[in-house]
Each structure stands twice: as structure tokens, then as C-alpha cells.
Structure 1
């Protein structure tokens, strides 16, 4: 799932779906990183675990800045 909202993250985790966040204010960067970095990880099955955790942590930290 490629989305940009906390509710989307919750739904993905609840349903055991991979999640890639589009960072608000950094949309262009997020789409470029999806193309160059995350998509290859999806296809070679290295997205889960450390990588997914790191992009979700980045998303969470950005949310905290605006809370």
C-alpha cells in the first residue's frame, strides 16, 4: 500500500500489508525514492523488516512534528 495518512498505515498493519508512506511536504522525494529504492525491494522481497520499519519511523517522526 502506498499512501500518506496515519489511518492508511493502521489499516495496512492490521491487514498484514506492506506499507510505503508518501511524506507530506516531501512528496517529490517520496515518489522518487519509491521508484529508485522501495519498488526494487518489493520485487526482490527485501522490503519487509528493517527497511519498511525505517520508512514508517520516518513517517511517524514527521507526524509528531505536526501534532
Structure 2
């Protein structure tokens, strides 16, 4: 089982879901690329947290999605 590095709240998941749907709709992302897009969004979220040294999103970070 993978080691958890960050807590992911329901709020975080809602932001990721909304960003994913918006990207798919606005950029006409084909279904075969959905998995890579989702992985990229999660990676962006966790990289920002790691750099900020925070396990939670703040309002400034939410605005980027």
C-alpha cells in the first residue's frame, strides 16, 4: 500500500473534481487522456503543498484551480 504524504479533505476533492470537469469540458480532453489529466491535477496539488510546507490548501492556492 502506498504511503500517505498528505491528508486530502473533502474540500480538496471537490476542488480537484471541479478543476478536472472544467478542464475536460473547456479543453475538449478526450477520454483516453482523463487519467493523465487527473494525475497531473493531483500532482500539482501535492507539489504546491510540499513547497508551501502545508498539509492544507489556503485561499490563494484554491484560486489557481
Structure 1 length-normalised TM:
0.38
- Structure with greater strand percent: 1
Rg larger in structure: 2
- Structure with greater helix percent: 2
